[in-house]
Structure 1
Amino acid sequence: MKFYNSIGPNPRVVKMFMHEKGITLPYVEVDLMAGENRKEPYVAKNPGGQLPALELDDGTVLTEITNICEYLEEKNPSTTPLFGSTPEERAETRMWTRRVDLGICEPLANGFRFAEGLPLFKDRMLTRPEAAEGLKAMAQDKLAWLDKLMEGKDYIAGKRMTYADIHLFVFLDFGASVGQPLNPALKNINAWFNRMKARSSAVGTA
């Protein structure tokens, strides 16, 4: 297998996941800033032009970070389960992943793309600069909602660290670097964030 890598939060989610699982794959670096991901030969493998991508030994190319991580977990079930060991745990992880992705990560990312990241993205995708501030506010609103639910919890799903934690951590860490810092009033989220940031997988993929 080969992992098509670049800068940005999406590849980092998978790299942090692989670090936690003890998975090592060869990387193929793709220059996102130069738009290499929007040109041949990369678009022949991934017509959507997104990064990262995982190319399997038979030539199949998988995209979308949650799908890639679920595949890697199924192929490596004996290492630390980050989706879960039972149907109930996996369902809970997927529930939280969807909540944080749709409610926080997507609006955070598009808020960046439509504002600070506009010079890079305006010719690569449909952008709506007028929506940027509203999207950022949506992400902050859901973070405040999650902060209340995190009371007394070590991780989003309780005592076990899951893929949902990795997904949210990476996007919040990215957001803090592009004008969307964590609100210090969100005490539970900040404590959780600091626990995640101290993990060797976070340090090793920063």
Structure 2
Amino acid sequence: MAATVRPGRRLIVLLAVGVGVMAALVGVGLYGLTLAPTPSTPTTAAEPTTPAESTVDPEPSASSATLPPIRSTSDAESFARDAAYALINWDAATDFDPADYAQVIVDAGDPSGTETAGLASDVRTYLPTAEAWLTLRTYGTRQWLTIDEAFVPASWSDAVGQAAPGQLLPGTIAYTITGKRHRAGIVGTQAQETSRPIAFTLFIACEPSFDECRMLRLSEVDNPLR
């Protein structure tokens, strides 16, 4: 068994190819976790930093030493919602960079390390590149998520039924998140804001495999299970 992922470890594994439970599902054609294109630098940033209405804590200030972890819970839906906020919410005006935000998700992953490389690769597709981040920082760009729905997709039961014995960890479940991705910042002297629909699926394992829910893999952005 691989070593437990240590908090604070930098994401060397971001370039690795995913393997493990969800990769096995890909192998039998149940669901493709193909990586999405790397996000490009937006032509306009968006309006400054009025917090979105959500149940999560606000983004940390630039003086914070670390980003807050995903809240520990054995409730799959609650974990999925908190993980979705952690995945989408970021602030380029702080001292954090994309690897810091990605690490929060990886630290909430399978403690055996089996899914670490695949999860890290999945997360990388949700975040701006390092080059794009520098541009976003000049605009003071901030991104946040508002959730419309969090639900177990109907197709998940089919996936579970087709999985080979032992292919899925006990307590594995999928949650699809739908909502809006907002960006806000300053372009020149003008405050601007943009938003667009977003949807994705989180694959999570809870009890009895783990006392607290852990992240396994992510779908590509806007290609969720339905």
Tell me the TM-score normalised to structure 1 length: 0.31
Which structure shows the bigger proportion of residues in strand conformation? 2
Which structure shows the bigger proportion of residues in helix conformation? 1
Tell me the TM-score normalised to structure 2 length: 0.29
